[in-house]
Structure 1
Amino acid sequence: MRDAIQWVRSIIFNAQMYVMLPVIGIVYLPWALFSRRGANAACHAYCRWVCKSAELIVGLRCEVRGEVPTDEVMVAGKHQSFLDVLMIFGALPRGKFIMKRILMYSPVVGQYARMIGCIPVDRGKRGAAIRKMVADVNTGKAVPGQLIIYPQGTRIAPGVKAPYKTGTGALYKEVGQDCVPVACNVGVFWPKRGVTRKPGVAVVEFLPRIKSGLTGPEFMAKLEEVIETRSDALMAEAGFVPKPPVAQS
């Protein structure tokens, strides 16, 4: 019975979350059309709405830990579900994503992504994508702020191992910015697939920054080690018991 009630609550939460996306987008649109500050305010308002409604409806509290960067840095995060996207962006003052080009054509999401300076790349064209990312940053097409990238390239379920892609290392080397790793446990409560959202404390944690100047291999090894180690600790804190390792290609 308890599972059935949580499922119903999850359906209600999911429905209102998607309804509020265009509502907030429309409310902020007059400001957003003339000011990047307005576009950022709209996106932050939506992040706050989802996090607060998750706590009220399904009992999932969102907690941000660590020192949140406010300067020009790369932010490389563990990606387990849509919730870590909202929590990381919501914590940053001027976040912007490197994201799949197709998402730029999504209603509301695509329009606001353009307005806050997100950088579109074509998935499956790794070399071209890296060059495009670097060119956009170096030529100023990428607006100032915290550049968010997911080193594994997609959502990874808790307990699943997946490689860290070289694009993050190439971007780190070419842009010459510090990188702030981010660990999380949100996939324990908000799975990659399915509608049920579990009660608990979803955490994203900003970790000590990795200074610029390392070689690509040194940076990637350190980035993977700190993100995976801390994410495993956060998931264990949330009660997650991993199954035997599963490889994901």
Structure 2
Amino acid sequence: MKDALQWTRSLIYTVHVYFLMLVWGIVFLPAALVSRQAARFACRSYARYAMWSLRWMVGLRTEVRGEIPTDEVMVAAKHQSFLDILMIFAALPRAKFIMKRELLWTPAIGLYAYRVGCVPVDRGKRGQAISKMLADVDKGKALPGQLVIYPQGTRVAPEDKVKYKTGTAALFRELGQDCVPVATNVGLFWPRSGIMKRPGLGVVEFLPRIPADAPKATMLARLEYEVELASDKLLAEARDAVVAAE
């Protein structure tokens, strides 16, 4: 009975938050077309509303930890669900994501992603995909901000282990910027698929920087170790809190 009620609350939240994404997109469209700042405001206000309503509709609270970067850096984040995208975008002052090119054709998301400076990349053979990504990123350097990449390339369930892709290391070498790793546990509460969203505390944690002059050969291994270790700690903390609440 308890799970059925939670599923119903989750369904209502999911329908309303995605419907409002479309409404938000239409309302802010005229301003977004002429002003990148307005487009960013629309996206950040939507993200904050989505997290606020998540708390009272589903019982899922959110918390951002660590030092949030405000300068031009590469942010390499663990990706578990749509929630970590919302939290990272709301936290960073000028976030721009590396995203799949097909998302440009998604209603509302595509136009706003383009306006805030997201970098669309093509899927393909690994070498070709990396070369194209670096070229696309180079074109987008005129727009300052924090470039967010998901090193595993997709959403990954909390218990799963997926190797980090070499494109992240290539981007680190190309940009010559510090890398800020980001850990999360949000997939425990908002899974990568399905309707059910569970109450608890979803955390996104900005970890200490990997400096731009760090050894390039070991950067990817270091990033994977630090993000996975921190994410596992957040996951254990969340599970302990759930047990204590029962």
TM superposition score normalised by structure 2: 0.94
Kindly indicate whether the alpha-carbon contact (under 8 Å) linking 1:136 and 1:142 is maintained by their aligned counterparts in 2. no
Matched, 1:220 2:220: yes
Q: Secondary structure at the match of 2:239?
A: coil
Q: Aligned residue for 2:88?
A: 88
Contact in 1 for aligned 2:78/2:227 (Cα 8 Å): yes
Q: How does 1:1-249 map to 2 (within 5 A)?
A: 1-140=1-140, 143-239=143-239
Question: Larger deviation: 132-141 or 186-195?
Answer: 132-141
Distance 1:161 1:235 in 2: 14
Preserved CA contact (<8 Å) 1:74 1:148: yes
Distance apart, 1:198 and its partner CA: 0.1
Pair 1:140–1:191, CA change in 2 (3 A): closer
SS in 2 for 1:187: helix
Over residues 179-210 of structure 1, what are the superposed CA-to-partner deviations in whole Å (9 max), with x where a residue is unaligned?
00000000000112211000000000001111
Structure 1: which amino acid aligns with 2:26?
Answer: I
How many angstroms apart in 2 are the aligned matches of 1:102 and 1:79? 18
Report the AA paired with residue 5 of structure 2: I
Q: Which runs of 5+ in 1 are unaligned?
A: 241-249
Distance, in Å, in 2 between the alignment partners of 1:132 and 1:177 is 19
Task: Tell me how far 1:142 sits from its aligned partner.
Answer: 5.5
Residue 216 (structure 1) shift: 3.2
Structure (1 or 2) with the greater helix fraction:
2
Greater displacement, 169-178 / 210-219: 210-219
- Say whether the 8 Å CA contact 2:119–2:140 is kept in structure 1: no
Q: Residue in 1 aligned with 2:243?
A: none
Instruction: Note if contact 2:81-2:186 (Cα within 8 Å) is conserved in structure 1.
Output: yes
- CA displacement 1:61-110 (0-9 Å, x = unmatched): 01111111010000000001110111111101110011111111111100
The separation in 1 between residues aligned to 2:46 and 2:40, in whole angstroms, is 10
Distance 1:228 1:142, change over 3 A: farther
Q: Distance in 1 between matches of 2:172 and 2:141?
A: 17
Q: Which amino acid aligns with 1:7?
A: W
**Distance in 2 between residues matched to 1:226 and 1:142, nearest whole Å:** 30
Gaps of 5+ in 2: 241-246
Q: Matches of 2:33 and 2:136 in 1, distance apart?
A: 22
Call closer, same or farther: CA 1:171–1:162 in 2, change over 3 Å.
Answer: same
Per the alignment, in what secondary structure is the counterpart of residue 62 of structure 1?
A: strand
1:219 Cα deviation after fit: 0.6
| Contact 2:122 2:132 (8 Å CA) reproduced | no
Cα separation, 2, equivalents of 1:185 and 1:40: 26
Give the % identical residues: 60
Question: Which residue does 1:246 correspond to in 2?
Answer: none
Q: Structure 2 CA distance, aligned partners of 1:239 and 1:225?
A: 21
Q: TM-score, normalised by structure 1?
A: 0.93
- The residue identity in structure 2 corresponding to 1:119 is V
CA contact (8 A) 2:73 2:177 kept: yes
The offset of 1:141, in angstroms, is: 5.3
Judged with a 3 Å threshold, the aligned counterparts in structure 2 of structure 1 residues 3 and 140 are, in CA distance, closer, same or farther, namely closer
Q: Secondary structure at the match of 1:201?
A: strand
CA RMSD, Structure 1 to Structure 2 (Å): 1.5
How many Å separate the matches in 1 of 2:197 and 2:78? 19
SS of structure 2 residue aligned to 1:93:
coil
